Amino acid sequence: MRARLPRTIALLLLVLLAGCGGSGDSGDDTGKSRETPGPPVLGQDSGDEEAQADPGLGFPSFATKNTTRVGGADAVADAAGIARAIFPSRSRDTRPTSVTLVDKADWRAAMSAAQLMSRPTRSPVLFSDGDELPEATQFALDALEPTGAPKAGNAQVLRIGATARPKGLRASDVEGGDFATLAQAIDRLHTAAAGSPSRAVVVAPSASPEYAMPAAAWAAKSGDPVLWAGKNALPAPTRAAIVAHRRPRIYVLGPASVISEAVVSQLERLGTVRRISGNDPVANAIAFARFTDGRFGWNVTDPGHGLVFASGRRPLDAAAAAPLSASGTYGPLLLVGEPNVLARPLQDYLLDIQPGYDEDPVRGVYNHGWVVGDEGALSVDVQARIDALLEIQPVDPDA
């Protein structure tokens, strides 16, 4: 019997069919609003009543004019819903060639596996529960019907480490005894599919998932690997993976409190190193969103972008959400710390890139935000605040 569609995914698909979200083309009549739209919403009791306003359609908790929520109770449901949103699977050309399957117990392998969402494999992450397939994952596999990845041995499923083996689908196994070795093996698979190693790598902190999360979104978009370092140690598989990239540009994600200068000194023997960091996970994600170095980095410092919002408390959501950063409106992963609080630095950043117009908003550009996780991850009040900060505003409201 076919598994039933979980309610969260069903509501997401209903919202998508309603045509929520999107971005516009650039024009000359843009500017930045000088006013903050309303006071900060810190999530008291008001959102509870709003969330129940229309349980049949899911508004405003599943969508507002500038946001769309994938409201899974966990990353398993989020990954299944996001894969279906990116690959509607109504015809062969809207199906993925493959999916990547990772055990939900290994957040590091999951973030590294986001690299396989980039071209040429374009393989979204789904999660197993040990050697079992959760209902949401099985439903997604049944619906997606991956066609087979020509650049990965025509595999329909890329199995990362010890995970379930779906019946009736061709699988390619990516093996490794630990997360650093798995990251190296994932990168090796991607390099073989792409035909050459990437010119850049990201080294993320293996003991601080909230600082590592933004790397998954970039890996999915760029194809640059997510490799791992401890605070004071550089694993041998990470070193070997970097060597295979032939003195690449190395970007260390996170402050010295999670990857020390001693590790950076070791990395400098392998390539050119730059650190991207913030004092806390929210600021760290913003720093990555702003960062640019040649062809590396999001460089999101102006209006007209897609953005992805997730909870820093749910590291697996970074891998689940990675396909949103590699398709559609693209865009970096930004983090919310407390589910009921939109931190002031994040509000300030959204104000800084808020779209504006002089005469006609139709000639402006637009921001759109994907909100990942249920209300336990990001409340409806926070979603509403994000929506207001993404809205295009008149540059001179009194004109």
Tokens representing residue 193 in the block: 């599919």
Cα distance between residue 232 and residue 254, in whole Å: 13
Cα distance between residue 30 and residue 150, in whole Å: 43
Cα distance between residue 174 and residue 188, in whole Å: 9
pLDDT score of 8 = 46
Cα distance between residue 62 and residue 301, in whole Å: 27
**Average pLDDT of the chain to the nearest whole number:** 89
Is-cis flag, bond preceding 197, omega within 30?
A: no
Is residue 333 scored above 60 in pLDDT? yes
Is residue 296 scored above 80 in pLDDT? yes
Tokens representing residue 222 in the block: 């760029």
pLDDT in tens, 336-372: 999 999 999 999 999 999 999 999 999 999 999 999 9
pLDDT band, residue 47 (cuts 50/70/90): very low
Residue 398: how many other CB atoms lie within 10 Å: 4
Residue 320: how many other CB atoms lie within 10 Å: 32
Tokens representing residue 319 in the block: 């891998």
Is-cis flag, bond preceding 60, omega within 30?
A: yes
Give first-to-last CA distance, the chain, whole Å: 62
Residue 262: how many other CB atoms lie within 10 Å: 12
pLDDT in tens, 237-253: 999 999 999 999 999 99
Cα distance between residue 228 and residue 120, in whole Å: 23
pLDDT score of 29 = 36
Is residue 321 scored above 90 in pLDDT? yes
Cα distance between residue 300 and residue 333, in whole Å: 11
Closest CA to 75 of 8, 14, 20: 8
Cα distance between residue 100 and residue 112, in whole Å: 11
Q: What percent of the chain has pLDDT over 90?
A: 84
Mean pLDDT across 322-332: 97
Q: Taking the model in full, what pTM does it have?
A: 0.87
pLDDT score of 59 = 87
pLDDT score of 55 = 55
pLDDT in tens, 76-132: 999 999 999 999 999 999 999 999 999 999 999 999 999 999 999 999 999 999 999
Measured CA distances, 353 to 36, 263, 359, 375 (Å) = 12, 34, 19, 25
* Burial state string for 364-394 with b = 16 or more CB within 10 A and e = fewer than 16: bbbbbbbbbbbbebbbbbbbbbbbbbbbbbb
Cα distance between residue 372 and residue 62, in whole Å: 10
Cα distance between residue 130 and residue 133, in whole Å: 8
Check: CB of residue 390 under 8 Å from CB of residue 354. yes
Cα distance between residue 101 and residue 72, in whole Å: 18
Q: What ranges do the domains of the chain cover?
A: 7-394
The residue that leads in pLDDT, 41 or 6, is 6
Lowest mean pLDDT among 2-6, 149-153, 186-190, 296-300: 2-6
Token pair 């999915």 in the structure block, residue: 220
